[in-house]
Amino acid sequence: MDTSRLDKLLAFIQNEPEDEFLKYALATEYLRLNDTEKALSYYEDLVNNHPGYTGTYYHLGKLYEALNRKSDSITIYEKGMEITKAKRDMHAFSELQSVYRSAKGFEEDDDDEY
């Protein structure tokens, strides 16, 4: 019998409960399985306990948007932009800036602080 991807990830996380990549993979897998509550808990754990794991901010913000939590998405995009800018990860910064501007309702030629 083939073990599911989720079962494998859950087995791995038991051995490495603070592994940020495994937490991210679990969040992504739960989201793929439409279990938004569990996905949300893993993404929020990542931003609270592993703030340097920059890939989280985009996906958590998008999940907040899907859950009609627009102000939370804007806040998480702002936090992500601060962190990616400090890390000089301009690709991630640019992606976050784009979704942030969209969430705020800015047009392409509008100016804002980011």
pLDDT more than 70, % of the chain: 90
Confidence at residue 106, expressed as pLDDT on a 0 to 100 scale: 84
pLDDT digits (tens, 9 = 90+) for 44-100: 999 999 999 999 999 999 999 999 999 999 999 999 999 999 999 999 999 999 999
Please choose, from the candidates 27, 112, 39, the residue with its C-alpha nearest in 3D space to the C-alpha of residue 74: 112
5-104 is a CATH 1.25.40.10 domain = yes
Please state the pTM of the whole predicted model.
0.88
Residue 114 or 50, more confident: 50
